[in-house]
Amino acid sequence: MKPIEELKKPKVDYLFYKWEIIFLIVAILIPILSWFIWKSGDMVSRSGSLIVFFSLLSEFKLLHKANVKHIRNAQRVLQNSEPLNFSDPAMHVTIASLFIALIGTFIWGYGDIFIAT
């Protein structure tokens, strides 16, 4: 079997990950909206929990699609076909989800300190 780097990447459009991207956009908009509505560092800090929540929703959907991919790859191997690697959009959305969750955790813990009212 080939190393993972040599496996063929499927051609998948970003629209395949539309719900994951929508969750990430919501996660980004929440602290911005909370600042414009309340102008309070405490509320921005509280919005960090919602950033993490929506990032985790995105990651949960990504993991579900990864599990389906693993099952389909197992079927391909049983049929003597080459398994497929993860697509570039899958990797980009996964990295964005992790990055936004990390920022959300930081905002959740320290947002009221850095955003003084």
The pLDDT of residue 114 is above 90: no
Does 8 reside within a domain?
A: no
Structure tokens at 17: 């990950």
pLDDT tens per residue, range 44-98: 999 999 999 999 999 999 999 999 999 999 999 999 999 999 999 999 999 999 9
Does 95 reside within a domain?
A: yes
The pTM of this model reads: 0.92
Q: Where are the alpha helices (DSSP H) in 39-114?
A: 41-78, 88-114
Distance CA(63)–CA(59), nearest Å, equals 6
Give the number of domains in the chain: 1
Does 35 reside within a domain?
A: yes
Does 61 reside within a domain?
A: yes
Does 6 reside within a domain?
A: no
Does 21 reside within a domain?
A: yes
Does 93 reside within a domain?
A: yes
Does 5 reside within a domain?
A: no
Query: The domain containing residue 68 runs over which residues?
Result: 15-107
Structure tokens at 25: 């956009």
Cβ(92)–Cβ(29) under 8 Å? no
N residues, the chain: 117
The pLDDT of residue 28 is above 60: yes
Structure tokens at 27: 């996660």
The alpha carbon of residue 96 and the mean position of all alpha carbons in its chain are separated, in whole angstroms, by 5
